[in-house]
Structure 1
Amino acid sequence: MSVNATTVSAGEALGVLMAGWAAQKAGNLTASWMLHGRPGVGKTEVVQSLAHKIGAELYDLRLTTIEPQDLRGLPYFDHARAKTVWYRPEDLPDTDAPAILFLDELTAAAPALQPTVYGLLQERRVGRHRLPANVMIVAAGNRVEDGAIAYDMGTALSDRLIHMIVQASADDWLTQYAVPAGIHPTVAAFIRTRPDLLETTEASLRRGQMIACTPRSWTRVSQIMFSVPDRALRQVMIAGTVGTAPAAEFALLADEIAATVNIDQMLASTRAERQDLYPTSLHGLTALVYGLVGAVRQDTLPAAIEILADMRGLARLSQHGLPGSELASFGFELLIARALENGWQEAFAHSDAYAAYAAERRAAGLP
């Protein structure tokens, strides 16, 4: 059966779950949630981000690795009462602090396990083990048409959940995930210029190819870029992660960026010295923006502000037809969000470069 629910980005799914948590805390809604989506689109990352944002402990329960009795617990005989009682399994939250019970791979779990999950999703209990009121239940899984191991979800299980379909979105991934997660600037620049290659599972299945691009695989490419300096070895790993064709295209961009972008040098240079350090390609400038936002610290924030502010009117960029103003504005959006997250916003109030940049935008009638 198809999942006739709303399709959302990972960032939108996080917003819905945050609202659900707020409603649960207020005592207005106690529900269990289900994230459907292709492998690697970011379902697990959504739940991890939710736990981080609400300050909850995450109990990650992979349903493909357990049996029904694992949820019930271990029985023992109480001789005083002449009864069999059950030890509570440690995988179930038993805490007064906020907690998330994450039932991952729900649609891949054996059908024999589903009846045990029914009570957990609806009545929030297994046997006599009840979940505390401060526990939020979120499940996730692939659909049958996603090419992963999955069973159709029966109506008895489906009716106990609020469903969302999570779909990869390049804009959402870049702003909501890539910058906070410290994704390598070359990967971020590549996805910004080739958003169609963020997620290619459907196309790969249609071509009969095993390897596809996904947000998860690009995260792995980022890790490879940070940890493997040898280009030839790195290229074999990347091809084995996203496929040979995307890897070949990515390698060309990576070479270009490596030759033209040096974040540390720009941050350490004076404003006058930086004028000749700006890359003169769209890929290079895009990587500079993402690299700058990812690398900035409180002590280097003033220099980062200057770099973005000067990008707006740099003559050598306009001579190459590069959108320095647009990239500067985009970079400031990311940089301000990073500063607010870390409590560094005072740097903007004391920056002459940002004051001049803001005045120039106001004079042009821009917000």
Structure 2
Amino acid sequence: MSGGDTRIVLEALSIAVSAGVPTLLWGSPGTGKTSAVVALADSLNWPIEVVIGSIREPSDFAGLPVISDGTVRLTPPAWAQRLATAGHGLLFLDELTTAPPAVQAAMLRVVLERVVGDVRLPDKVQVVAAANPPEEAADGWDLAPPLANRLVHLNWPVDGRQIARGLAVGFPAPSLSGFAQPPSREQVVEARATVAAFLEVRPTLALRVPSNGGTATGAGSQGWPSPRSWEATAKLMAACKAAGAAAEVLAVLVTGAVGEGAALEFLSWLEHLDLPDPTAVLANPDAFDLPHRSDRAFAVLTSVVAVAVSAGDADRWDAAWRVIAKAARTAPDVASLAARTLAGHRPPGAAIPSALLELTPILRAAGLLGD
């Protein structure tokens, strides 16, 4: 990373936390990762609990079995109880690569579901971690692929000039732009539809489990493609759009979620996609022209249907049928997939739209109508 990337990573960290996606900062010891996370908590005025895996047992995450009233309960540790009581905050898993495999395994449910023992941490408790490469950590361990896949990986940059400026005038505070405006429902469904359209084109990238067992130098200790990490990518895309984040920030986050190879393909595809706003399409369906490229056509119809279904009102449902009817004239296969989804989500009180008359042969071929 170049010297100007510290602010990009800080903004990416802020956006990931605002989106509720667990995040891991990778970097050498003594480079300010912990200070950046603490500064983020201070900027938000959130409580922060620092937990170091090397001095913890699996029961510190899975809960300590205690007999109470004839039943066994998994009692959470004090740090989890404090976060649960506060209702929000950061759970900071520091020195993650010093945690042995048994402790990493116990962390899996904590990182993904925020469950500690018999207590589920509130949704406003977010998970951030920091780690040194195993060869630089004290008694370091490789990061297991299942744990790595639950995190967005951000590489913490080090630049001598930035350190000099930070020592002289202070280090930059994390950007809070990601917290200014949460993504709208339309932005969320549009992002999910875009990721789905890409995986329709490149289905082999939906899941690529690392084959190296998760060595320190291999892909297992970093992000890799899975349904979970693609879902995280959609969340991050929506959060970036809501925050008005630069393309560089989105690239850092997508790479951290699904790994470099899959991210390069997705970002290249996204750059040339140039999709219309699905909300605008639904507002004026008669002016819509279906793109000639099949992947763009699929992405447009998927996002239009997703927005219409999410809205749940009769007007948008009817408008979506008009869009599908136009699409059916040139791309019946793509239109039939969109019609299948839309037909299963008819809002209460919605009349059968006239556009369905044009789609009768397509719906019958898709098995949505009887003979």
TM range (shorter): 0.3 to 0.5
The TM-score normalised by the length of structure 2 is: 0.46
Task: Provide the TM-score with structure 1 as the length reference.
Answer: 0.46
Q: Which structure would you say has the larger Rg? A: 1
